[in-house]
């Protein structure tokens, strides 16, 4: 399962998402879109927006820290 978290250091919801994954021992890749323009462009291409967090679970795009949507995507 491939999980990508697009985030920024100042985003509180991004921190909540990271903590949620870590507490459940779920591996994910984090991309800081404030420092990586290529990943920022990828984020916009995938989600149609620049807001964070955006979580990609095997190609399913979740905008914001939406636990119900994340749990559904992980099934």
DSSP codes joined into one string, 20-57: HHHHTT---EEEETTT-HHHHHHHHHHHSS--S-EEEE
CATH code, domain carrying 37: 3.40.30.10
pLDDT beyond 90 at 1: no
Total domains, the chain = 1
**2 close to 18: Cβ distance less than 8 angstroms:** no
What are the pLDDT digits (tens) for 20-56? 999 999 999 999 999 999 999 999 999 999 899 999 9
pTM: 0.93
Rounded-to-integer distance, Cα 25 and Cα 39, Å: 24
Q: Is the dihedral of CA 64, 70, 72, 73 positive or negative?
A: positive
**pLDDT attached to residue 56:** 97
Q: Which residues constitute the domain of residue 32?
A: 3-74
pLDDT beyond 80 at 69: yes
């Amino acid at each position: 399962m491939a999980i990508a978290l697009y985030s920024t250091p100042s985003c509180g919801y991004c921190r909540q998402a990271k903590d949620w994954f870590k507490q459940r021992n779920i591996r994910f890749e984090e991309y800081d879109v404030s420092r990586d323009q290529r990943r920022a462009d990828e984020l916009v291409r995938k989600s149609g927006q620049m807001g964070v967090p955006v979580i990609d679970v095997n190609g399913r795009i979740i905008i914001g820290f939406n636990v119900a949507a994340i749990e559904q995507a992980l099934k």
